């Protein structure tokens, strides 16, 4: 015999070694079965968690309306989507006196365009200013100058604008200096038409009072220094001696007890009430009236020593009447008179334009400054005028003006501080600011930001490198399959109200359901990979056992049929679990597709089938144990 193969001792030694190896393989098979069983339980738990998370997400997501802003991209295309502002009032424009540039109080007048309300409001917001003002409105009421400032004092520091027309104690409007509170009188009704500017040099309306053209002209006796009076030091040397009869310097009728009224009118071009004096000489006696009010007497003639008598008065701007009731006791008669300013310059004097009448001065009622709206309206109606205006005072101390020409009465334009524009907003007129306060100026720093807002309202921001904009329209520069491509415009306040994720969007970011199940999905995949590896090891051990000599298998008490069956099963199970070895998480989204938030039966069926198959595998292992026993 050759070798030791036939030596009983050697064969016994080999058998013992083989027995130990087979026993070790058997123990390894048992250990692998135990580990496989434990891992399978964990797999089932993870899979159940994945299904539960998916189900809850789909359930919650079904409650979100189609027009909801969740699970979409949001782009901040405006600072405040629907800005609102409160009107503060009409204030003097501080920039008007410095050529429209910014002043020290922080109010800046913008240039380059005619601003309407919305445009000026937007300019304030874009410049991060809470206050703005509109002034110098155009004639069409479509826009004007726009000024912006950061503080309340910026638009109010120059003081509130005092309106040209204001209400009196009777509830009616009255004009101030060179401003008519204009009314129409139609039948028994009186309608307020607005506040309109006037000019002292060329009145827009006719003053109430006598119609001088209906009275005869006076006679001029001569210059101030003619005889018989021979005055040498009269202050106004352009004044003329006048009377109501011819050649009165020689002789005039006695009219004591029957005074005649000499009357003249003049337009005082000053813009405000002015101190002045009536200066004159009368032969023999006179009573002097200014605008229908008795202001003093001028008597004496020669008896006065030829010196003028001065009466101090206050002249209102505009048309004025001076009436002098004169009387002569016989012989020469005349009136020499001048109204002087504070520097003794002549404002008006007696000349050939004067008229005379037998009507007493107190009955002429020439533009007395004692009108109310009711009184002026009655005067207009009684004298055939359709329009009337009150100026220079309030109830009982205003001047009354009348006209039948509305266009002429309004020719100098509105005197109102503000005007309602075509957009139904208030605009300031010349040198007047219609001031406003913006309720919310938003957050300019968020303008142009883009982010994805998830199911919980948390925004994940796109870095600038992942999107671009054209004409304020954004374009996302990367394709993330699980993230919506829809973009919704929002304002900066929306962005400010949300929680911003500390992690920005990247090419690997997941959205929606993919993000929600990402952790559970990874756990299932990891456990599936472990099961794949364990099943491979089990197959390797079974193959080893099946490769043993049939005598050894029989001696070890191993059931060959069970080995064949379990090997076939493990090969089938391993084929399924081996798919987890090369899981691509992005392509794995096909298993749990969420673009339509609807689960695919085919994909879920695969996972469920895998779970069932593993349970069957577990039962087979138990049968193998029994068979082996």
In this prediction, residue 382 carries a pLDDT of 79
pLDDT at 440 over 60: yes
CATH number for the domain whose boundaries are 209-364: 2.60.120.260
Q: Do β-strands 72-78 and 487-491 pair in parallel, antiparallel, or remain unpaired? A: parallel
User: What count of other Cβ atoms lies within 10 Å of the Cβ of residue 323?
Assistant: 29
Q: Please check whether residue 123 is in contact with residue 115, taking contact to mean a CB–CB distance below 8 angstroms.
A: yes
Higher-confidence residue of 465 and 365: namely: 465
Q: What's the average model confidence in pLDDT over 128-138?
A: 93
In this prediction, residue 218 carries a pLDDT of 97
| Six-digit token string for 354 | 């004067």
In this prediction, residue 613 carries a pLDDT of 35
CATH number for the domain whose boundaries are 8-62+515-628: 1.20.120
| pLDDT band (50, 70, 90) for residue 583 | very low
Higher-confidence residue of 608 and 331: namely: 331
Residues 41-71 pLDDT 10s: 898 898 888 888 888 888 777 766 665 788 8
Q: Kindly tell me the number of DSSP H helices and DSSP E strands found in the chain.
A: 12, 31
SS3 117: helix
**Cross-strand pairs, 387:** 184, 403
- In this structure, what are the phi and psi dihedrals at residue 415, rounded to the nearest 5 degrees? -100, 5
| Six-digit token string for 40 | 């399978």
Residues 29-45 pLDDT 10s: 888 888 988 988 898 89
In this prediction, residue 66 carries a pLDDT of 60
Residues 366-390 pLDDT 10s: 556 789 999 999 888 877 889 999 9
Calpha distance 167→491 (Å, rounded): 44
Calpha distance 381→364 (Å, rounded): 17
What percent of the chain has a predicted confidence (pLDDT) above 70?
85
pLDDT at 623 over 50: no
* Spatial CA neighbour of 294 closest among 326, 264, 323, 327: 323
Q: What's the average model confidence in pLDDT over 502-522?
A: 85
In this prediction, residue 520 carries a pLDDT of 86
Residues 184-211 pLDDT 10s: 988 778 999 999 999 887 888 887 777 7
pLDDT at 502 over 90: yes
- Going from N- to C-terminal start, the domains of the chain cover 8-62+515-628, 72-79+444-510, 85-161+417-438, 165-206+371-409, 209-364
Q: Please check whether residue 366 is in contact with residue 321, taking contact to mean a CB–CB distance below 8 angstroms.
A: yes
* Spatial CA neighbour of 515 closest among 467, 458, 450, 579: 458
Q: Please check whether residue 537 is in contact with residue 21, taking contact to mean a CB–CB distance below 8 angstroms.
A: no
Residues 340-360 pLDDT 10s: 999 999 999 999 999 999 988
């Amino acid at each position: 015999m050759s070798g030791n193969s036939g030596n009983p001792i050697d064969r016994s030694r080999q058998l013992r070694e083989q027995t130990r190896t087979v026993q070790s393989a058997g123990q390894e098979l048992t250990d692998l079965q135990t580990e496989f069983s434990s891992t399978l339980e964990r797999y089932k738990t993870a899979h159940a968690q994945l299904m539960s998370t998916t189900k809850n997400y789909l359930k919650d997501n079904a409650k979100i309306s189609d027009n909801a802003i969740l699970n979409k991209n949001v782009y901040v295309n405006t600072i405040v989507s629907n800005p609102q502002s409160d009107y503060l009032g009409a204030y003097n424009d501080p920039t008007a006196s410095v050529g429209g540039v910014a002043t020290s109080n922080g109010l800046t007048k913008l240039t380059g365009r005619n601003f309407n309300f919305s445009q000026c409001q937007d300019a304030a917001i874009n410049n991060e200013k809470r206050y703005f003002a509109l002034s110098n409105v155009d004639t069409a009421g479509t826009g004007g100058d726009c000024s912006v400032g950061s503080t309340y004092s910026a638009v109010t520091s120059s003081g509130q604008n005092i309106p040209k027309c204001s209400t009196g104690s009777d509830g009616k409007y009255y004009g101030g200096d060179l401003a008519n509170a204009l009314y129409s009188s139609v039948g028994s009704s009186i309608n307020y038409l607005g506040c309109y500017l006037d000019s002292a040099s060329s009145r827009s309306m006719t003053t109430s009072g006598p119609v001088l053209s209906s009275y005869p002209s006076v006679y001029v006796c001569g210059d101030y220094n003619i005889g018989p009076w021979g005055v040498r030091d009269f202050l106004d040397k352009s004044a003329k001696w006048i009377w109501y009869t011819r050649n009165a310097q020689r002789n005039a009728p006695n009219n004591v007890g029957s005074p005649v009224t000499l009357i003249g009118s003049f337009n005082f071009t000053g813009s405000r009430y002015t101190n002045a004096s009536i200066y004159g000489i009368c032969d023999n006696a006179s009573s002097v009236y200014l605008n229908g009010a008795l202001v003093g007497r001028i008597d004496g003639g020669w008896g006065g020593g030829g010196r003028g008598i001065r009466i101090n008065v206050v002249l209102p701007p505009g048309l004025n009447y001076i009436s002098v009731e004169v009387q002569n006791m016989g012989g020469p008669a005349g009136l020499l008179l001048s109204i002087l300013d504070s520097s003794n310059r002549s404002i008006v004097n007696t000349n050939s334009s004067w008229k005379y009448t037998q009507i007493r001065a107190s009955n002429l009622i020439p533009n007395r400054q004692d009108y109310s709206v009711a009184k002026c309206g009655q005067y207009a109606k009684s004298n055939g005028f359709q329009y009337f205006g009150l100026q220079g005072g309030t109830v009982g101390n205003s001047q009354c003006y009348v006209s039948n020409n509305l266009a002429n009465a309004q020719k100098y334009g509105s005197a109102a501080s503000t005007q309602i524009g075509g957009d139904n907003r208030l605009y300031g007129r010349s040198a007047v600011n219609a001031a406003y306060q913006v309720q919310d100026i938003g957050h300019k720093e968020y303008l142009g930001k883009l982010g994805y807002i998830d199911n919980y309202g948390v925004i994940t921001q796109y870095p600038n490198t992942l999107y671009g904009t054209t004409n304020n329209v954004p374009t996302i520069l990367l394709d993330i399959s699980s993230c919506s491509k829809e973009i919704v415009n929002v304002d900066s306040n929306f962005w400010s109200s949300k929680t911003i994720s500390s992690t920005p969007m990247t090419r690997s970011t997941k959205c929606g359901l993919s993000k929600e199940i990402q952790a559970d999905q990874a756990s299932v995949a990891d456990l599936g990979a472990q099961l794949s590896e364990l099943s491979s090891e089990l197959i390797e051990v079974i193959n080893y056992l099946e490769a043993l000599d049939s005598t050894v298998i029989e001696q070890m008490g191993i059931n060959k049929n069970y080995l064949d069956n379990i090997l076939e099963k493990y090969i089938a199970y391993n084929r399924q679990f081996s798919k987890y070895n090369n899981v691509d998480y992005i392509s794995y989204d096909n298993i749990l597709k969420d673009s339509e938030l609807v689960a695919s039966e085919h994909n879920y069926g695969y996972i469920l089938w895998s779970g069932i198959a593993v349970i069957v595998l577990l039962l087979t292992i138990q049968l193998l144990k029994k068979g082996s026993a």
